[in-house]
Amino acid sequence: MRKIYMKLTVVIAAVLVIMSSCGNRSKVETENKETETATDVVSLTDEQIKMSSIQTGSIEMRQVGNTLKLNGEIASLPQNTASISVPMGGRVRSINVIQGSEVNQGQVLAYIENYEFIDLQQNYLEAKSKMEYVNLEYQRQRALYSNDAVSKKNMQLITSEYKTLKIQMRGYEQKLLLIGMNPYRLTSGNITRAVAVKAPISGFVKNVNVSVGSTVSATDDLFDVVNLNNLFIRLSVFEKDIDRLHKGQQLSFYVNDEDETHSAVVYQTTKSIDNDKSYKVFARIVSRCGNVLPGMYVNAEVMLDNHQSPALPEDAVVTYGGKNYIFISQGTKTDQGTKLTEYKMIKVTRGLSNNGYTQVTVVGNIPTHTVVIKGAYNLLSALKNAGEED
């Protein structure tokens, strides 16, 4: 009987130990769960928020899809570019502009001197003066011929002289117009040895290729003027990628390694291949770009689809322990008279990134304008430090 009692005592003791162990395990699990729950929330004062540069916003619907990276250059339409020369050449008397000057159509850029200008004006005025006499004689001979007062031979001679002189005058007029002189305003009192070189289009002076006193020929380009309206991008695309591009696709680009991005739209693709085994794709610039000029090198990214998905700025998504998280603001509370704002870390699935934005997938609904879009890594650091102190 004594042995049975001792055995029962041992059994009861074992059961009590097991129950105590389970209770402790449950208590530990509860504490761990509370600790785990607590470590995904960090509280900051208004001063700490300011120092950490915390900004909140909302998840946006953005086009963050597959992209194709291309290289190219800025170009202008042929009708918006002008290389300016003087048909008869001469010596540069004066220059009125410098590189980068803004000019209007018809504005005088320089003056060119040439003795041939004087000869041309003189020949035109002499022919014009002679034409006045020959025209009167021609009209008189016609009247006499109609009355059989002069022979047919005389009429033919005066007609030939009249037509020849008329052709000469027409030729002189066109030559004067070609060098920029108005023959209909030319008189013996305003003969000049210089002609004005004028801008054929409005725009900016890209190059000044001459200096005062230099001699230029008819084939020399004195100035290059570019109109910055309707600029476009000429991109090089390899054969394997040409079928992925089409009219209407959006693209973003930047020049000279700048951070500022600009926008353009594909409007044409070529069907011929160049010597470097690439195709040319043309995109029209649609954003206002004050620092973009023809000839600049371009890095571009073309959007290959139009699908929009939830996205946040790349800095809003943080990585911790091999997983991706965002922070949301849970409102404010007061602790011992101090106002605190609580931020909770939420797990997300990260997608593609483009133009500074990243696709995100969140389980459940998030209140509007509560997502931390700037300063998320500062919150993560504060969360880590709080966990270490605990």
Residue in the block written with tokens 């000839």: 295
Burial of 18 (0-12, 13-18, 19+ CB in 10 A): exposed
Tell me the C-alpha distance between 347 and 328, whole Å: 11
pLDDT of residue 65: 66
At 213, the pLDDT band (50, 70, 90 cuts) reads very high
On whether both 287 and 326 belong to a single domain, the answer is no
Are 153 and 144 a contacting pair, CB within 8 Å?
no
pLDDT, average across residues 208-230: 92
- Of 269, 273, 353, 275, whose CA–CA distance to 317 is shortest? 353
pLDDT of residue 226: 92
Residue 188 lies in a domain: yes
pLDDT, average across residues 344-353: 88
On whether both 152 and 191 belong to a single domain, the answer is yes
Look at the chain and count its residues. Answer: 390
pLDDT of residue 231: 86
Residue type (1 letter), 237: V
CATH code for the domain in which residue 284 is found: 2.40.30.170
Residue 90 lies in a domain: no
With 50 as the cut, is the pLDDT of residue 31 above it? no
Mutual angle of helices 152-178 and 115-146, in 10-degree steps = 150
Q: Which residues contact 163 (CB under 8 A, 6 or more apart)?
A: none
Burial per residue of 264-273, b for 16 or more beta-carbon CB atoms within 10 angstroms, e otherwise: bebeebeeee
Burial of 25 (0-12, 13-18, 19+ CB in 10 A): exposed
Q: Quick: pLDDT tens for 105-161.
A: 999 999 999 999 999 999 999 999 999 999 998 888 888 888 887 788 888 898 999
Q: Which of 303, 328, 352 is the last residue of a domain?
A: 303
- Give percent of the chain with pLDDT exceeding 90: 41
Q: Which of 48-62, 162-176, 292-306, 309-323 has the lowest mean pLDDT?
A: 292-306
Winning range, highest mean pLDDT, from 25-29, 240-244, 327-331: 327-331
Q: Helix (H, G, I), strand (E, B), or coil: what is residue 167?
A: helix
Residue 6 lies in a domain: no
Tell me the C-alpha distance between 7 and 314, whole Å: 68
Tell me the β-bridge partners of 283: 233, 266
Q: Which of 281, 303, 325 is the last residue of a domain?
A: 303
Structural domain total, the chain: 3
Are 354 and 67 a contacting pair, CB within 8 Å?
yes
CATH code for the domain in which residue 374 is found: 2.40.420.20
pLDDT, average across residues 224-251: 88
Residue 30 lies in a domain: no
Are 317 and 311 a contacting pair, CB within 8 Å?
no
On whether both 325 and 370 belong to a single domain, the answer is yes
Residue 21 lies in a domain: no
> How many Cα atoms occupy the beta-carbon half-sphere of 211 within 13 Å?
0
Are 66 and 354 a contacting pair, CB within 8 Å?
no
On whether both 187 and 130 belong to a single domain, the answer is yes
On whether both 297 and 314 belong to a single domain, the answer is no
On whether both 270 and 322 belong to a single domain, the answer is no
Q: Helix (H, G, I), strand (E, B), or coil: what is residue 218?
A: coil
Containing domain of residue 273, as a range? 67-79+227-303
Q: Which two tokens stand for residue 49?
A: 């928020």
On whether both 258 and 289 belong to a single domain, the answer is yes
Average pLDDT over the chain reads 83
End-to-end CA distance of the chain: 55
pLDDT, average across residues 75-85: 91
pLDDT of residue 37: 41
